[in-house]
Amino acid sequence: MWLLDVNLPNGLRRVLEKLGQTSETTAFRGWRDLGNGVLAAAASKAGFRAILTRDRLFGESAGKALQSHPDLAVVI
């Protein structure tokens, strides 16, 4: 399952669904205001496999959380 960060258009979710990829938005989950590290931890705990974002500094700011959740990919 893929998580779309707040900086991506909601319409991308429909595109992914048509391609057979289950996805949700951070807004739908109530995670709109979570910082990157907290978001990565919450996403991993909820079973997401990837976070899609346009935030080029996501990996930098969420570095420690991402090390703790090696099963989670971040796609920029």
pLDDT tens-place string over residues 11-69: 999 999 999 999 999 999 999 999 999 999 999 999 999 999 999 999 888 888 889 99
Contact 53, 25 (CB under 8 A): no
Q: How far is CA 13 from the centre of its chain?
A: 12
Q: According to the model, what pLDDT value does residue 65 have?
A: 85
Sequence-distant (≥ 6) Cβ neighbours of residue 66 within 8 angstroms: 40, 59, 72, 74
How far apart are alpha carbons 22 and 3 in whole angstroms? 9
The pLDDT value given to residue 60:
87
